[in-house]
Amino acid sequence: MNTIHDDNIDALLRQSFDGPVPDAGFSERVMQQLPPRRRPSTWPLAAGVVVGAVLCLLSLHTSPLWRAGWHGWLVGEWSSSTIITLSMMAGMSLLALGWTLAEADDH
Amino acid sequence: MADSAAEARIDQALVARALLGDDRRAFEQLVRRHQGMVRAQLCRLLHGDAAAADDLAQETFLLAWRKLDQFRSEARFSTWLHRIAYACFLQACRTKSWAARHAQDDGMEHLPAPARAMDLQLDLARAMRHLSTAEQAVLLHCVQLGMSHDEAAYVLAMPLGTVKTHATRGKAKLKTWLAAWHGAANEERVP
């Protein structure tokens, strides 16, 4: 039976492949064309953090829960408002930490 | 396997140096390490048009430099580069129609009986050109560039099952078209 096996086809294809092309000045030409790297600007992130913090403070400033929690924390009294406020802050901090670690891991 | 893992680690270290210290010499090392295979890949995709392949390879490395911070270690650096190169090739095909320039309309039911061993390579090259673009690309990456099916699927942005199907179909077509060579080889062996 006149059959060609897959291995024969693979071998033929590999034989017909010339392999890597010699450099012959290609890398130098590429390096001459390389543009300077643009640094990602950090001001949008910083501005976002500041604006977010200010808006958060403004919205919480008039909240009775925040006021009661803050007052309780200042006088050392562990009221439910204090515990809720501190738990929320701890939760937000943990989320930010997790996000930062995930980003650092990707890089 | 160990060599390939070591090579990947060297690439990762060079990428980190190029990114953190804006080290152009580290990137130059990456170019020197991978230019040969990227140019070979593009030269094959462009049916031997070396000048066009070099243009696209240059575009590939400039893109890689710009997008280096987007490189994630989910694939090897070489595989990531081949993926960019293939995307550049597809983009060039859309604008310059290499495929149409290299298209041939002669029949391929069965190639003629063999004359010399060298002719087999010529017939193979001719048969390869008659495969569909996807089949050619899959066989190039899986067999000639030595990638796994997973890596080829990543480079060609195809589902894994599609890559396997194209590989099987492509090889089956080549077997049919080159069957005359096998028959002739058997006849030569018979006294």
* Higher-scoring residue by pLDDT: B16, A65: B16
Residue A75 pLDDT class (50, 70, 90 cuts): confident
Tens-place pLDDT, residues B157-183: 999 999 999 999 999 998 888 877 665
- CB-closest option in A9, A14, A18 to B174: A9
Alpha carbon dihedral A104, A107, B4, B6, in 10-degree steps, equals -70
Q: What is the mean pLDDT of residues A37-65?
A: 81
Domain B104-189 annotated CATH 1.10.20.10: no
pLDDT at B105 over 70: no
Tell me the domain boundaries of chain A: 64-107
* Res. A72: pLDDT tops 70: yes
Architecture of the B2-100 domain:
Orthogonal Bundle (1.10)
pLDDT at A1: 41
Q: Above 90 in pLDDT, residue A46?
A: no
Give tens-digit pLDDT for B29-70: 999 999 999 999 999 999 889 999 999 999 999 999 999 988
B146: left (phi over 0), alpha (psi -120 to 50) or beta: left
Q: Where are the domains of chain B?
A: 2-100, 104-189
Q: What is the 3-state secondary structure (H, E, C) of A58-99?
A: HHHHCCHHHHHHHHHHHCCCCCHHHHHHHHHHHHHHHHHHHH
* B62 vs A16: CA distance, rounded Å: 29
- Kindly list the residues of chain B whose beta carbon comes within 8 Å of any beta carbon in chain A: 19, 22, 24, 27-28, 31-32, 35-37, 39-40, 43-44, 50, 53-54, 57-58, 61-62, 65-66, 69, 72, 120-121, 124-125, 128, 139, 143-145, 171, 174-175, 178-179, 181-183, 186
